[in-house]
Amino acid sequence: MARHKRIDLPHCLYHVMSRTNSGDTAFHNRADRDKFFYYLDKYSRQLSFRILSFCLMPNHFHLLLESGESASLSEFMRRLLTAYTIYFNRLRKRRGHLFQGRFKSIVVDKAEYLISLSRYIHLNPHNESLNIPFESYDGSSLRYYIKGNEPSFLDTSEILAWFKNNRAKYAQYIRKGLNEEIHLPILEQRYLGGAVFVQRLQKRIASHAQKTSRTQMGQSSQNRTTADAESNRAKELEKIVAEHFHLPVGQIKTRKAAKGSLGQARKAMIALLAETLPWTYVRIAQHMGLSNQSNISYHLQRIQKNREMQKHLEEIRKRLHK
């Protein structure tokens, strides 16, 4: 069975895993783990990745990370694994590959699975029966989420924001997972999300491939044409949403906190942009005048649980498809 081509996109959330060859131990002690973190810091800075969670086990590791402006996941992992393998081989006078040839990467629906995936990663030491207190394990980012004093390369702000920056509440959420089965519905061995998420991501993949091809061919004018078409589509959505909620068109993108019909209109606009256009959360946040992309995933999750908002969206979609 042919393996899937790796998904490598800008502004994309990934769960990355890599195992050693034949189950060899890659991290013998804290010095090994600290060296890995040194390279993680170095290359995440070079290639603009945000590290949200991590856990190093003896023979494998987990990373929850988000790409920046460029699609460079494969290059990031190549540099990270090569640098650590060179260190490890020199120290232990060995040769050859340390990790399996192809690392595993899952694209994650941030709105649905950011929090539960962080819990899954942070509970790995407990699930692997390492017989160590998983909350204080120096190979995991959990201790920083609970006690603070994060290293510069670790960004805990987005996940903690879901708990109103209350570290104790996040710790309670993690401990609750000890008595629950954590189900992560992975599709086609590369998507963590539902069918709608996969469809939206496939639009992004196609759009990115077209833009990359045009850039390579020097057809910048076609890129502008695509961007103009997307901008016009966004304006069309804004007009229809404004009419649905009986609001002036320009009011929907206000930067002020909004409640009532305006708040509902802004939420509807965010949901429709996410499902209609191949835009990243960063792009949607910019369009809507939001200061942080994490607000997008927060709003999308709230929208899915709000029956009234779902009714509004159904009515707006009917108008869009006329």
- Cα dihedral across residues 262, 267, 270, 272: positive or negative: negative
Note whether 87 and 33 are within 8 A (CB).
Answer: no
pTM of the model: 0.73
Which residue type does 1 have? Answer: M
**For 48, which DSSP code?**
T
pLDDT band at 1 (very low <50, low <70, confident <90, very high): very low
Provide the angle, in degrees to the nearest 10, between the axes of the packed helices 167-176 and 110-122.
80
Question: Contact at 8 Å (CB) between 51 and 40?
Answer: yes
Residue 45 CB coordination number (10 Å): 11
d(CA 222, CA 227): 9
Q: Looking at residues 159-177, what average pLDDT do you find?
A: 95
Task: Indicate whether 132 pLDDT > 60.
Answer: yes
Provide the pairing of β-strand 104-108 with 191-192. parallel
For residues 300 and 270, the answer to whether their CB atoms sit within 8 Å is: yes
Q: What is the pLDDT of residue 209?
A: 77
121 vs 116: CA distance, rounded Å: 9
Of 98, 116, 87, 113, the residue nearest 58 (C-alpha): 98
- Integer angstrom CA distances of residue 141 from 134, 144, 151, 209: 10, 5, 9, 34
Residue 193 falls in which region: left (phi positive, over 0), alpha (psi -120 to 50) or beta? left
pLDDT given at position 114: 95
Q: Where in the chain is the domain with CATH 3.30.70.1290?
A: 13-192
Question: Burial, 255: exposed, middle or buried (Cβ in 10 Å; 0-12, 13-18, 19+)?
Answer: exposed
User: Identity (one letter) of the amino acid at 142?
Assistant: L
How many residues are recorded in the chain?
Answer: 322
Give CA angle at 117 (111, 122), nearest 5°: 145
Superfamily for the 13-192 domain = Transposase IS200-like (3.30.70.1290)
pLDDT at 225: 62
Residues 31-84 pLDDT 10s: 999 999 999 999 999 999 999 999 999 999 999 999 998 888 999 999 999 999
What one-character DSSP code corresponds to residue 179? G
pLDDT digits (tens, 9 = 90+) for 77-109: 999 999 999 999 999 998 889 998 789 999 999
Q: What is the CATH number of domain 218-320?
A: 1.10.1750.10
Nearest residue to 108 via CA among 208, 230, 23, 190? 190
55 three-class SS: strand
